[in-house]
Chains A and B, each alone.
Chain A
Amino acid sequence: EPEVTQTPSHQVTQMGQEVILRCVPISNHLYFYWYRQILGQKVEFLVSFYNNEISEKSEIFDDQFSVERPDGSNFTLKIRSTKLEDSAMYFCASSADRGMQTQYFGPGTRLLVL
Protein backbone atom coordinates (compact mmCIF):
# COMPACT_ATOMS: atom_id res chain seq x y z
CA GLU A 1 0.00 0.00 0.00
CA PRO A 2 1.40 3.44 -0.89
CA GLU A 3 2.54 5.51 2.04
CA VAL A 4 4.00 8.89 2.87
CA THR A 5 7.59 8.72 4.08
CA GLN A 6 9.58 11.30 6.02
CA THR A 7 13.26 11.70 6.77
CA PRO A 8 14.92 12.02 9.13
CA SER A 9 12.85 10.47 11.89
CA HIS A 10 14.72 12.53 14.47
CA GLN A 11 16.82 15.67 14.15
CA VAL A 12 18.74 17.53 16.81
CA THR A 13 20.07 20.97 15.92
CA GLN A 14 21.50 24.06 17.52
CA MET A 15 19.46 27.24 17.76
CA GLY A 16 20.05 29.43 14.72
CA GLN A 17 20.89 26.54 12.41
CA GLU A 18 18.96 25.75 9.25
CA VAL A 19 17.11 22.44 9.01
CA ILE A 20 15.46 20.73 6.06
CA LEU A 21 12.78 18.14 6.69
CA ARG A 22 12.02 15.84 3.82
CA CYS A 23 8.87 14.07 2.74
CA VAL A 24 7.95 11.79 -0.14
CA PRO A 25 4.18 12.04 -0.68
CA ILE A 26 2.09 9.32 -2.31
CA SER A 27 3.02 9.40 -5.98
CA ASN A 28 -0.29 10.31 -7.64
CA HIS A 29 -1.34 12.82 -4.98
CA LEU A 30 -1.60 16.48 -5.88
CA TYR A 31 -1.85 18.29 -2.53
CA PHE A 32 0.80 18.28 0.14
CA TYR A 33 0.73 19.57 3.68
CA TRP A 34 2.99 20.25 6.64
CA TYR A 35 1.71 20.18 10.20
CA ARG A 36 3.49 20.50 13.50
CA GLN A 37 2.72 19.22 16.97
CA ILE A 38 4.53 20.71 19.93
CA LEU A 39 4.88 18.14 22.71
CA GLY A 40 1.65 17.83 24.63
CA GLN A 41 -0.25 20.19 22.36
CA LYS A 42 -2.66 19.82 19.46
CA VAL A 43 -1.63 19.42 15.85
CA GLU A 44 -1.38 22.72 13.96
CA PHE A 45 -1.61 23.36 10.23
CA LEU A 46 1.45 25.04 8.73
CA VAL A 47 1.07 25.07 4.95
CA SER A 48 -0.51 23.39 1.96
CA PHE A 49 1.12 23.13 -1.46
CA TYR A 50 -0.27 22.49 -4.92
CA ASN A 51 1.11 22.81 -8.41
CA ASN A 52 4.47 24.00 -7.15
CA GLU A 53 3.16 26.83 -5.06
CA ILE A 54 1.78 27.49 -1.61
CA SER A 55 -2.00 27.09 -1.56
CA GLU A 56 -2.69 28.09 2.05
CA LYS A 57 -0.52 28.94 5.02
CA SER A 58 -1.15 29.63 8.68
CA GLU A 59 0.10 32.46 10.87
CA ILE A 60 2.77 30.12 12.17
CA PHE A 61 4.30 29.81 8.70
CA ASP A 62 6.34 33.01 8.78
CA ASP A 63 9.37 34.09 6.78
CA GLN A 64 11.67 31.61 8.47
CA PHE A 65 9.75 28.74 6.90
CA SER A 66 9.75 27.71 3.27
CA VAL A 67 8.55 24.72 1.27
CA GLU A 68 9.73 23.29 -1.99
CA ARG A 69 9.15 20.38 -4.33
CA PRO A 70 12.65 20.24 -5.79
CA ASP A 71 12.44 17.16 -7.97
CA GLY A 72 8.84 16.02 -8.45
CA SER A 73 8.93 13.45 -5.67
CA ASN A 74 10.38 15.10 -2.57
CA PHE A 75 8.51 17.79 -0.63
CA THR A 76 10.66 19.72 1.81
CA LEU A 77 10.13 22.06 4.73
CA LYS A 78 13.03 24.38 5.49
CA ILE A 79 13.39 26.28 8.73
CA ARG A 80 15.99 28.95 8.11
CA SER A 81 17.13 29.88 11.59
CA THR A 82 15.73 27.52 14.17
CA LYS A 83 14.45 28.73 17.53
CA LEU A 84 13.92 26.74 20.70
CA GLU A 85 10.17 26.96 20.17
CA ASP A 86 10.47 25.18 16.81
CA SER A 87 11.05 21.94 18.73
CA ALA A 88 8.12 19.78 17.74
CA MET A 89 7.00 16.79 15.70
CA TYR A 90 6.55 17.77 12.06
CA PHE A 91 4.12 15.75 9.97
CA CYS A 92 3.86 15.73 6.22
CA ALA A 93 0.61 14.65 4.56
CA SER A 94 -0.72 14.30 1.05
CA SER A 95 -4.13 13.98 -0.56
CA ALA A 96 -5.35 13.10 -4.01
CA ASP A 97 -7.13 16.41 -4.43
CA ARG A 98 -8.15 19.49 -2.54
CA GLY A 99 -11.06 19.69 -0.13
CA MET A 100 -13.00 16.90 1.50
CA GLN A 101 -10.23 14.44 0.88
CA THR A 102 -8.63 11.88 3.13
CA GLN A 103 -5.14 13.01 4.03
CA TYR A 104 -2.40 10.42 4.40
CA PHE A 105 0.23 11.19 6.98
CA GLY A 106 3.89 10.41 7.21
CA PRO A 107 5.38 9.07 10.44
CA GLY A 108 6.74 12.48 11.41
CA THR A 109 10.12 14.04 12.10
CA ARG A 110 10.87 14.87 15.71
CA LEU A 111 12.90 18.09 15.76
CA LEU A 112 14.75 19.16 18.87
CA VAL A 113 16.37 22.59 18.91
CA LEU A 114 18.98 23.10 21.62
Chain B
Amino acid sequence: GESVGLHLPTLSVQEGDNSIINCAYSNSASDYFIWYKQESGKGPQFIIDIRSNMDKRQGQRVTVLLNKTVKHLSLQIAATQPGDSAVYFCAETGNAGNMLTFGGGTRLMVKP
Protein backbone atom coordinates (compact mmCIF):
# COMPACT_ATOMS: atom_id res chain seq x y z
CA GLY B 1 0.00 0.00 0.00
CA GLU B 2 0.96 3.61 -0.17
CA SER B 3 3.14 4.78 2.66
CA VAL B 4 5.10 7.64 4.06
CA GLY B 5 8.83 7.18 4.45
CA LEU B 6 11.83 9.04 5.79
CA HIS B 7 15.28 9.47 4.24
CA LEU B 8 17.40 9.49 7.41
CA PRO B 9 16.85 7.16 10.34
CA THR B 10 19.18 9.11 12.67
CA LEU B 11 20.18 12.76 12.69
CA SER B 12 22.79 14.12 15.07
CA VAL B 13 23.15 17.90 15.46
CA GLN B 14 24.99 20.32 17.72
CA GLU B 15 22.95 22.28 20.22
CA GLY B 16 22.07 25.64 18.72
CA ASP B 17 22.27 24.46 15.13
CA ASN B 18 19.26 24.14 12.85
CA SER B 19 17.86 20.67 12.12
CA ILE B 20 16.14 19.48 8.99
CA ILE B 21 14.20 16.22 8.96
CA ASN B 22 12.95 14.98 5.61
CA CYS B 23 10.06 12.78 4.58
CA ALA B 24 8.87 11.37 1.26
CA TYR B 25 5.29 10.35 0.70
CA SER B 26 3.85 8.31 -2.11
CA ASN B 27 0.11 9.00 -2.00
CA SER B 28 -0.45 11.92 -4.36
CA ALA B 29 -4.04 12.19 -3.07
CA SER B 30 -2.90 13.05 0.46
CA ASP B 31 -4.23 16.41 1.52
CA TYR B 32 -3.09 16.82 5.10
CA PHE B 33 0.29 16.27 6.70
CA ILE B 34 1.39 16.31 10.32
CA TRP B 35 4.71 16.15 12.12
CA TYR B 36 4.79 14.40 15.47
CA LYS B 37 7.51 14.20 18.11
CA GLN B 38 7.73 11.10 20.26
CA GLU B 39 9.87 10.94 23.37
CA SER B 40 10.79 7.66 24.97
CA GLY B 41 7.84 6.06 26.76
CA LYS B 42 5.34 8.66 25.56
CA GLY B 43 2.74 8.99 22.86
CA PRO B 44 3.34 11.09 19.72
CA GLN B 45 3.06 14.81 20.36
CA PHE B 46 1.66 17.12 17.69
CA ILE B 47 4.22 19.64 16.42
CA ILE B 48 2.85 21.25 13.29
CA ASP B 49 0.57 20.46 10.37
CA ILE B 50 0.10 21.62 6.80
CA ARG B 51 -2.60 21.19 4.21
CA SER B 52 -1.94 20.45 0.58
CA ASN B 53 -2.99 23.92 -0.55
CA MET B 54 0.02 25.39 1.26
CA ASP B 55 3.74 24.97 0.72
CA LYS B 56 5.06 26.44 3.96
CA ARG B 57 3.85 26.90 7.49
CA GLN B 58 5.70 28.27 10.48
CA GLY B 59 5.32 27.67 14.18
CA GLN B 60 7.43 28.46 17.17
CA ARG B 61 10.99 27.45 16.13
CA VAL B 62 9.57 24.99 13.60
CA THR B 63 8.76 25.26 9.91
CA VAL B 64 7.18 22.67 7.68
CA LEU B 65 7.76 22.75 3.94
CA LEU B 66 5.65 20.81 1.46
CA ASN B 67 6.71 20.14 -2.13
CA LYS B 68 3.85 18.39 -3.85
CA THR B 69 5.69 18.16 -7.15
CA VAL B 70 8.22 15.72 -5.72
CA LYS B 71 6.01 14.55 -2.84
CA HIS B 72 8.41 15.71 -0.18
CA LEU B 73 7.86 17.09 3.28
CA SER B 74 10.44 18.56 5.64
CA LEU B 75 10.54 19.77 9.23
CA GLN B 76 13.00 22.50 10.13
CA ILE B 77 13.82 23.14 13.77
CA ALA B 78 15.66 26.36 14.52
CA ALA B 79 18.25 26.59 17.29
CA THR B 80 17.92 22.94 18.24
CA GLN B 81 17.87 22.30 21.97
CA PRO B 82 18.55 19.15 24.03
CA GLY B 83 14.82 18.90 24.72
CA ASP B 84 14.28 18.41 20.98
CA SER B 85 15.95 15.00 21.17
CA ALA B 86 13.26 12.48 20.21
CA VAL B 87 11.93 10.44 17.31
CA TYR B 88 10.09 12.50 14.71
CA PHE B 89 7.37 11.07 12.50
CA CYS B 90 5.64 12.55 9.53
CA ALA B 91 2.12 11.35 8.87
CA GLU B 92 -0.42 11.91 6.15
CA THR B 93 -4.09 11.37 5.62
CA GLY B 94 -5.08 9.32 2.62
CA ASN B 95 -8.25 9.48 0.56
CA ALA B 96 -10.56 8.53 3.43
CA GLY B 97 -9.09 11.18 5.65
CA ASN B 98 -9.77 9.17 8.76
CA MET B 99 -6.50 7.33 9.19
CA LEU B 100 -2.98 8.60 9.59
CA THR B 101 -0.22 6.79 7.72
CA PHE B 102 3.09 7.12 9.51
CA GLY B 103 6.62 6.70 8.30
CA GLY B 104 9.24 4.79 10.25
CA GLY B 105 10.57 7.81 12.10
CA THR B 106 13.85 9.76 12.37
CA ARG B 107 15.74 9.90 15.65
CA LEU B 108 17.10 13.37 16.38
CA MET B 109 20.05 13.49 18.77
CA VAL B 110 21.21 16.86 20.05
CA LYS B 111 24.80 17.09 21.24
CA PRO B 112 25.53 19.65 23.97
The answer to whether A and B belong to the same complex is: no
| A positions within 8 Å CB-CB of B | none
